[in-house]
Amino acid sequence: MRRLAHCSLALVLVLSTSLSSGGSTQNNKRTDPEMVIVFVCEHGSAKSVVAAAHFNRLAIARKVSIRAIARGTNPDQTIAPSTAAGLKSDGLPIGIKRPKKLATSDFSRAIRVIAMCELPGAYSDDVRVEKWDDVPSVGEDYGKARDLLVQKIVRLLDQLTLAR
């Protein structure tokens, strides 16, 4: 009887996993959870981290299956203290333990790259690169930087969901 209960529980888990994934193995590029937006700032420790955290929060709230990652062209060793404090006060996780360098492999799943600094060389002609060079320093005024990033992210999510 105990063995039957374990088998039944396993079947329920398999079925619930199948149903939660849509119950289909059809590959739909627009809803692929591996699709990403790459936010890039010079040090990968402030603007891109704040943008990725807020993008992910808003995407989850809208049930959009796109996630964001933060990268730097010349990454710092640690996340900027102003970024950590600001995200904590917003109730958001930092998302990464330490800044990561932008790599060409980041473009393989990217549907958009948002650059808040100059990108070195041509990383990819296949991915749209959008410049957000008007975002103020997170260290000087976290609230102002965050508010502008959130406005831009809302517009970006509107564009992405209309394109579906």
Per cent of the chain over pLDDT 90 is 63
Burial of residue 111 (CB within 10 Å: 0-12, 13-18, 19+) is middle
Task: Please report whether residue 56 resides in a domain.
Answer: yes
Task: Please report whether residue 45 resides in a domain.
Answer: yes
Structure tokens at 77: 């060793």
pLDDT (tens digit per residue) in 100-157: 999 988 988 899 999 999 988 766 666 788 999 999 999 999 999 999 999 999 999 9
pLDDT (tens digit per residue) in 2-58: 433 333 333 333 222 233 333 333 333 344 446 899 999 999 999 999 999 999 999
Q: Using the 8-state DSSP alphabet, how is residue 116 labeled? A: S
Task: Please report whether residue 14 resides in a domain.
Answer: no
Q: What is the pTM of this model?
A: 0.78
pLDDT at 52: 98
Let me know: does 126 contact 38? Beta carbons within 8 Å. no
**Residue 160, pLDDT above cutoff 70:** yes
CA 39 → CA 24, 71, 85, 139, 147, distances in Å? 31, 6, 20, 17, 16
Q: How many domains does the chain have?
A: 1
Task: Please report whether residue 4 resides in a domain.
Answer: no
Q: Residue 158 belongs to a domain with what CATH number? A: 3.40.50.2300
Residues of the domain holding 108: 28-162
pLDDT (tens digit per residue) in 68-116: 999 999 999 999 999 999 999 999 999 889 999 999 889 888 999 999 9
